Amino acid sequence: MGVYAVTGSASGMGAASAAVLREAGHTVIGVDLRDADITADLGTADGRRAAVQEVLATCGGVLDGVAAVAGVGPAMKDAAAVASINYFGPVVLLEGLRPALARSAAGRAVVIGSNSATTVPVIDDTLVGLLLAGDEEAARERARATAGTLPAELRESSPGLSAYASSKFALARWVRRTAVAPEWAREGVLLNAIAPGAVITPLMLGSTGVTRDADVDAFPTPMPLGVFGRPEDIAYWVHQFLRPEARFTTGATLYVDGGTDAAMRPDAQPTAMTV
């Protein structure tokens, strides 16, 4: 049995992922703002540093997997905080825990992105560039500035929408770039992402105003399967990516969104290589 760290373990997809891993007999180190083995704010540099140190101390320096699930939604008023939590939270944590994953016989890491990265047309390329460059201060300033340019209706309901979609887009890019770097790939540490769609969690309910019994066909984006997702639907794939047997997949983003991305962008993938 292995030892796994799960961020966002107190609720939603993080809680479901922690439960699946525990049911499989693994030891889970939960990280969250509350009700967790390790309480830490991944939206701050000090919180990330403390989380890394405490996870390493708890696991004895050897970790079999990390599920970076913690995140916030577009309804958060401070767009800067959205960028810090959703991008720098998982990135800094995973970079800090990579050596412990490399000491495992089969280190695995999975991050939770979002299909908003490809289905919400408010990606800020400048913000994405600042995030990938690791410039948190400039990224926070840009996120706040971009939030102010959103249409009035969006500023009221989803002030962090651009920061949310852009941070998830940057996170997917970071996974793809990082997974094939020698210090990850050649050390046997596999890194992948999951892009959920409309999953009934406290975050989604708070961000969209949707209720648990809402009409799925009235949702703003297409839902080909005719149902909303559940946290357990994401937890299943988190577990699969973290399994030792998942030995030949890295740098991938798996859409677990009921077909929304495929319905909205049917010809977006695959994209042919050009010379």
Tokens for 108, please give them.
């695995």
pLDDT at 240: 98
Distance CA 83, CA 41 (A): 14
Pick the range with the lowest mean pLDDT from 123-127, 156-160, 203-207.
203-207
> Token pair 């309804």 is at which residue?
75
Please give the Cα distance from 170 to 87 (Å, whole number).
Answer: 7
Poorest-confidence range of 89-98, 113-122, 148-157, 207-216? 207-216
- Please state the domain count of the chain: 1
Do 192 and 250 meet the contact criterion of CB atoms below 8 Å apart? yes
Kindly report the pTM of this predicted structure.
0.95
Residue 275 lies in a domain: no
At 28 the pLDDT is 98
Is 255 one of the annotated active-site residues of the chain?
no
Please check whether residue 265 lies inside any domain of the structure. Answer: no
Kindly report the average pLDDT of the chain as a whole number. Answer: 95
Q: How far apart are CA 147 and CA 161, in angstroms?
A: 8
Please compute the mean of the pLDDT values over residues 110-117 and round it to a whole number.
98
208 confidence band (pLDDT: 50, 70, 90): low
**Whole-angstrom Cα distance, residue 70 to residue 85?**
8
pLDDT tens for 31-82 read 999 999 999 999 999 999 999 999 999 999 999 999 999 999 999 999 999 9
Has residue 260 been placed in a domain?
Answer: no
**DSSP H or E run through 97:** helix 89-102
**Residue 236 within any structural domain of the chain:** yes
* Per-residue confidence band for 207, with pLDDT thresholds at 50, 70 and 90: low
Which residue range forms the structural domain that includes residue 182?
3-254
Q: Is the pLDDT of residue 203 over 90?
A: no
**43 within some domain:** yes
Residue 219 is assigned to a structural domain of this protein: yes
CATH code of 20's domain: 3.40.50.720
Instruction: Decide if 267 is inside a domain.
Output: no
Answer whether residue 123 is part of any domain: yes
DSSP state of 87: I
Contact 29, 5 (CB under 8 A): yes
> Omega into 270 within 30° of 0, i.e. cis?
yes
Top-ranked range on mean pLDDT: pick from 52-56, 151-155, 198-202: 52-56
Annotated catalytic residue, options 4, 87, 164, 255 = 164
